[in-house]
Amino acid sequence: MILTDREILTSLEHGQIVIQPVPDPVRFSSTSVDLCLSNVIRVWDFDQVEKTKGEVITPGAEFNYEKFRAKYTKKVVVDKSKGYVLAPDAFVLGWTKELLVLPNHSRIAARVEGKSSLARLGLAVHVTAPTIHAGFEGPIQLEMCNLGPVSIRLTPDMPICQLIFEQTFGTPAKGYSGQFKKQKR
């Protein structure tokens, strides 16, 4: 079942969901809460991509995502007054400003989804990976892609995505312990 705004607020009050900083009341809708963009994004290092042209990634047990990210992307701290202009077809990694904690015992999982106002412009905020598992802790990573024909300015603190919370049926035997637990920007 999807949590309504009242259930989300009650869960926040009881620590069953932790969002820091706590979203302003206008960030809620009847069944979701909007999160905002942090000032850190990672962009592709095209010099490095060019240097290793022809290299093929083989995802799997041997693959180390952190090494991959460090090798091929650069951290950019975005100036709030200028923003970051996402060109058509560009793909960058971003994070929510808010930290999310879904304690395992709360029996709550979530999905991160785009906002219709941004989707209309062509902005996607995830690439087929919207699930936030019970037990998750950290800022939410956003895989942002401009699918539209016009550049989009991304500004720190802009509402960028929405979270939809769902109650799980039963308590998970094991909390989320995947590679992105406590992920950092």
Partner 1 sequence: MCRIRAKITRGSMASERVAYFTSAAGETIEVILSPSQVGKDHIVASELARDSGCVLIELPQETSSGDWRVWVKRDQLLAM
Give me the active site residues, please.
143
Residue 52 makes CB contacts below 8 A (sequence gap 6+) with none
Among 7, 27, 72, 107, binds partner 1 (CB under 8 A): 27
Of 42 and 115, which has the nearer Cβ to partner 1?
A: 115
Please, are residues 154 and 83 in contact by the beta-carbon 8 Å criterion?
Answer: yes
Q: Check residue 159 for interaction with partner 1 (CB under 8 A).
A: yes
Among 118, 132, 140, 144, binds partner 1 (CB under 8 A): 118
Q: Check residue 83 for interaction with partner 1 (CB under 8 A).
A: no
**How far is it, in rounded angstroms, from Cα 48 to Cα 51?**
5
The amino acid present at 111, given as its one-letter code, is R
Among 34, 110, 132, 135, binds partner 1 (CB under 8 A): 34
Of 40 and 119, which has the nearer Cβ to partner 1?
A: 119
| Piece of 23-31, 50-58, 65-73, 125-133 that binds partner 1 (CB under 8 A) | 23-31
Instruction: Give least dist CB 149 to partner 1, A.
Output: 17
The tokens for 95 are 């994070």
- The residue count of the chain comes to 185
Instruction: Give least dist CB 80 to partner 1, A.
Output: 16
Of 40 and 158, which has the nearer Cβ to partner 1?
A: 158
Q: Check residue 117 for interaction with partner 1 (CB under 8 A).
A: yes
Could you give phi then psi for residue 62, rounded to 5 degrees?
-80, -15
DSSP 81-120: TT-EEE-TT-EEEEEEEEEEE--GGG-EEEEEE--HHHHT
Q: Check residue 91 for interaction with partner 1 (CB under 8 A).
A: no
**Residue 12 is inside which H or E element, if any?**
helix 5-13
The tokens for 98 are 């808010």
Instruction: Give least dist CB 65 to partner 1, A.
Output: 30
Q: Check residue 126 for interaction with partner 1 (CB under 8 A).
A: no
